[in-house]
Each structure stands twice: as structure tokens, then as C-alpha cells.
Amino acid sequence: MLYGRQNCPVEIVLETAKAYADPFNDIELDLLFTDPEGKEQKVPAFWAGGGCWKVRYSSPKLGRHEWRSIASDPTNSDLHDRRGSLEILPYEGTNPLLRHGRLCVSANRKFLQHIDGTPFFWLADTWWMGLCKRWSFPGDFSTLVADRVGKGFTVIQIVAGLYPDMPPFDERGANEAGFPWEEGFSRINPSYFDMVDLRIHHLVKSGLLPCVVGCWGFYLPWLGIEKMKKHWRYIVARYGAYPVVWCLAGEGVMPYYLSKEPQKESEFQKKGWTEVARYVREIDPYHHPITIHPTDSARNQLEDPSLLDIDMLQTGHNDRWSIPNTIRLLNSSYSAQPKLPLINGEVCYEGIGEACRQEIQRFMFWVSFLAGACGHTYGANGIWQVNTKEKPFGPSPHGMCWGNTPWEEAYQLPGSYQLGLAKRLLMRYEWWRFEPHQDWVEPAGTMENYNGGYAGGIEKEVRVIFLPSGVWGVKVKGLEKNIKYRAFLFNPTNGEELEMGEVRGDGEGNWKLPGVPPIFQDWVVVLEAQR
């Protein structure tokens, strides 16, 4: 009898003496689990090398779980029709990912929550190449993990080895065991993923949810749809028992940088990723949320956006000049159908182009959240590509380098700390009930004139207004009669608060921000209803 804990992976190992010329491609193995309530769940196994297959299983349901193996080679009695059981015991730790369980989409399709109903605030960091050996493990990797946990991050966006900004089998993408696939994409390299296991386990153990990006989008024409399905089956089998989010690909419909047929490849990718999305949804027994990192909006990367659970955006890296496009895509996504939780998954990496500094990080966070996003993704130039002091990443295939700031400096840039402060403020309230309310502030920031206020909150309970540097004296509108508010200023650079006293609307429900700002910088105005 095996024993496991709620929501924690349990590993079952099956081995065979029967030799296969190409075990990864010649045989598939699943385990059919029956939970204590009699519900069946088919969980894919992964080839672990040689004659070894493994299955990882987790469940929130306590009690005895039975399993039976199903092999595509029914003549192999080592693998086919094996049976066993395991007992799931209560989880007694404090890790929120394991205490509350995997993520799902809320009933109103506006935010993410754990399966026990606990809302999940998405504050992600971007570690695209974080599984390569240019970060030592555990040394460098655990240093960054500890820093992000301390700042309040909850998600890490990380690519499963088929990286952007390099050709396949570029040495910069290798880990301690080489590459995720053998040359020519003939079959998976299980030893590569043994090294990945250490990192994914460390993220989850530390309370950081992996957003696993299967590959960069332009790999689809190289592998083809059927091999990409095998790639994704392997990822689901290996990491599906963990609390994760699936991101099908990075920049899904973007062709390779040096493509000679970009339009043709882009069209193939849009159709192909639609098919792969449907496949992942079919084989994932845990029904983890699915998204795709886009060239603009995830909705536009597939022929059928209903296959997605999250609309992820990419809105630009051009400092303040990216703000109008950010507002445009946020507003478009928030009002689009089908309704999906909204995340700005890539905008203005801090320090990229020797710009996009902390004031831009604050602006993009607050504009996104107050426009209806259920969190935000941060990125720092130097981290996503894993620059080191000794050896920067270097140029992309198009010949340009995105910047040489080493990760040891990039992780200490102030923007990451300040976004943690912003999240901490919002966590005081039922942030998942917030609605955008540009009608609450005048002048309000718009795509055409973004130098205004940005407002959102919960009617009759709380209002949050972000004022970019230089914006003051705004009118707060629509204050409810007979409701008294306590107002304070939140300093988004250091988290300090300044009391503003009691606030009531005038005869028309308006209140004008008095005086001048204490310091010439961004401010957040918070109005809390007093009962």
C-alpha cells in the first residue's frame, strides 16, 4: 500500500524487461485511477528511460484510491493490467498550493481560484529560460526563488526547454543533462527532465505555482502537430500531478525570426495550436487552466478561443509608448466573449532598452489590475534570458542582443519589490470582486490621453485610484449618499500610508482631491467605506 497526502504528487513506478527499439515512441502507458467515490480518472505515464515508466498522481479526496494499468502493448504483463492501491491522507502543512489545491476558473469567469474556492492572486515573474544550466541548482535558482517568495510573487512563467531567441539545440538552452529532445526531435531525453523535476518541485515546495510554457510557438512547424502532442503528453504526465497552469506556447503564432515563409507558418501555427489545445484539454486528468502566451491576445492565437481558460496578453516593451496599446488590449479583452480571466503576461521588462524602469512597472500593474485583470506578470531584463556576469546571453537569431544586465543585478531592480507592495495592499480587500470604474474619476486616463486617473473597486465598500506622476486634483465621482469613507494615500514606492481623513460626496456625489501631492510622484488613493 502506498500513502500520499492531499494534493501532493505520489509516484508509481512500473518496469519491464521487454526491450523496445524506441520505447518513447513504441508504447504508451496510462493508469486508470478510481477514487473513493467511484469516479475514474485516466492519468498518462511518462517514459523515465530504459525499461522504466512512472506515473504521478494527486487528489484532494481522502481515502483509498485503486489503480489499473493500461498499456498500448497488451502482451506486456509487466506494464499492462497491473493493479494497486494508495491511501490519501490529509495534508497538514501550510503551503497554500497544497492546502487549497489546484487552480480553476471562478464561476463568473473573472479570476482564478483554488478548487476549495480560495481566490488566487496572480503575481508572476518571467523566467523563460529558467530551466537551463546557466542558473546553478540549487544555488542560483534557490536564491531567486527566496527573493520572489519574500516579495509576494505567486507564479513563475517558465519554458520547458524549447526556448525563444535561439535556434534548436543551441548550447545556451542546455541543462546539466543536455536538451529536452534528441537531435532531429526523434524522441524525448528523460534525463533532461530529471533536472527539470528538481526545479519544478522546488518552486511548488516554496509556494510558487509554475506556469509551464510547452515551447516557443515557432517550434510547431519543426516538430509537427503529432510530435508536439507527444511533447505535451510528456509534460502533462510528468507535471500534471503538481499545481500548475499550462501555457501551450510562447508567442503562439509568431514564426521563427528568420523564416522565409512567415505568413504561411503563422497560419499553420494558429491552426496547429488549436488542435494541440484541444488535445491537452482531453488528456489532462486534472483539468488545469490552459492559456497561450500571445503576440497580442491569447484569443487571437487559436481558431477557437473557447479552448482557453485565461486570456493572456502581450502589450509591448516600449516604455510609456506601450501604454496606449496596453489600455486598448485590456479593454478589448475585458469586454470580449467568451469571458475569460485576464492577465497581462508580458509588458515592458524592467530595464529593457535602458528604459521601462520602476515607474513604468507600477503604471502597468495598476492600469492592468484596475482594468479588470486578475493579477499581473512582471519581467526583468536579464532574468528572462538568464544573463550571467561572466557570460551574457548574447544575440538573438536576428542579430540583436536584448541587453546584458546580469540576473544577479536584475532581480534586485526596485520594480519587483514595488509590485509586491501593490499586491499586499490589494490583498486587504476582496480584490476578486473589483470592477473597473473609470467613471469614478475625472479626468480619467484613456488610450488617447493616458495621463489621468485609473479607478476600480467595489461599490459601497472600497475604491482604489491610481494617479500617475503629475496627476493630482482629480475629482472622485459617484460617491454614494449616506456612506462615509476613510481616505488615505498609499505610496507605491515604499508602502507608506498617509491619512487623508473622512470623505463624503457633495450634493452631486463628488469629492475633489485637496491640496498638492506630498511628493511629486505616483500615488494610490484608497477610500474605505466606514460602517
Query: What is 96-429's CATH superfamily?
Result: Glycosidases (3.20.20.80)
What letter represents residue 106's amino acid? S
Do 2-89 and 437-530 show the same overall fold? yes
**Domain 2-89 - what CATH class?**
mainly beta
Q: What is the pLDDT of residue 47?
A: 98
Annotate 178-221 with DSSP letters as a single string: B-SB-GGG-SB-HHHHHHHHHHHHHHHHTTPEEEEE--BTTHHH
pLDDT value, residue 531:
78
Q: How many angstroms separate the CA atoms of 343 and 254, rounded?
A: 20
Q: What is the pLDDT of residue 223?
A: 97
Domain-wise residue ranges, the chain: 2-89, 96-429, 437-530
Query: Would the pTM of this model clear 0.85, i.e. be above it?
Result: yes
Question: CATH: 2.40.50.100, 2.60.40.1180, 2.40.50.140, 3.30.230.10. Which one for 437-530?
Answer: 2.60.40.1180
Q: What is the pLDDT of residue 402?
A: 97
Sign of CA dihedral 501, 493, 451, 331: negative
pLDDT < 50 stretches in the chain: none
Contact 398, 257 (CB under 8 A): yes
Dihedral through CA 47, CA 53, CA 58, CA 64, nearest 10?
Answer: 160
The whole-angstrom separation of Cα 378 and Cα 26 is: 42
What value does the mean pLDDT of the chain take?
A: 97
